[in-house]
Amino acid sequence: MSSILTISRLGAQGDGIAETPRGQVFVPFALPGERVNVSLGEKKADLVAVLDPSPLRVAPPCRHFGDCGGCAMQHLEEAAYREWKREKLVEVLASKGIDVAVDEMVSCAPYSRRRAAFTARTTEKGILLGFNAALSHRIVDLEECHVVLPSIMERLQTLRELAALIARTPKPFRLGVTQTASGLDVAAEDSGKLEGRARQVVVDFVMRSGIARLSIDGEIVVEPKKPVVMVDDVAVQPPPGAFLQAVEGAEKAMADLVGGHLRKAKRVADLFAGVGTFALRLARESEVHAVEGDAAALASLDRAYRFGAGMKKVTVEKRDLFVRPLTFKEMDLTYDGLVFDPPRAGAEDQSKQIARSQLRYVAAVSCNPVTLARDLRILIDGGYQLKRVVPLDQFIWSPHLEAVALLEKPKKRR
């Protein structure tokens, strides 16, 4: 059913929200103040035409915008976009009673993402390779992308050819691509079992193409060159499909914030340490104990430390912190500083242990403002003072937001 709506505000996911007698209606790609013609659904509406455009509406730079589900906000003027994204964090913190002056957002430039998760599928007309359309399994066959590094997009045809060679299923499958110092590290998932002659054809193709490594479902098929990423001047060889911060510049900004806050700590715990994004940098000034549940990532961190130089002692521990958090007694016995960077679910149980500790300096890194606010509330209730919160726009033009929170607990008076 067609309808004319007036957009009152932006929602958390970037949709325009219209207030109607039937309740709120969410309109993707619509902006506050706009009068729009829409095709109504149950709760969402498809934008048909913008009748009265907002003065903040701009032309999106990418031809796929509005179809590809990767970006939601290319149509909003830059300053307004930055304020909308920062305000999301402010509002979530306020919902937990946390009143803090949130810093201006640290921006990331277009064409800066060093990793991308493409979807591929074989069709009668050939291979499709791109990102899924919003709320759909339909693949938008990419011709350009203003988010990922040009060095990845320049190899799009190579990646299409590789996807066609490894596909052993008519179903869509994932092709994770990371730009490393050694070349592209490609990790496929659910592409089917590659055997016999077909496997050798793929190996020969990778060798000719200059791809650093190909793995399928975690198994390394061929590795002409060890993929290497630099953590400052420390070389790290990540395992297949390893988690890395999406933008190298954002990683450095986060690490600088964390390192500056923990600079007085002699012994630091790095929880959810991954391949050593923080641990290897913190080790320039402090002894570090890195705790991580992924054995392969932890092995990469340990190897990087052992082959690195100029670092203080780094120890590692494989531990599922969701099942067995580091206890406040362990913290108080050994450390005077801590950083934790959990997945989107946050670290509720771990935060409860930190809150009971006497650790002086704590840095919380998060990719989910909602769970960050919950965890910060726990820490504040445990006696921590929230000194600073810095939002980082690592996922440009999307609703996703990174943040670093710095906390300090006053010394107990004796």
Positions annotated as catalytic residues are 367
Closest CA to 182 of 151, 160, 215: 151
Alpha-carbon distance 129 to 172, whole Å? 10
Q: Residues annotated as binding site for S-adenosyl-L-methionine?
A: 245, 272, 292, 341
Query: What sign does the dihedral 355-357-358-363 (CA atoms) show?
Result: negative
Distance CA 8, CA 20 (A): 10
Place of tokens 């641990």: 279
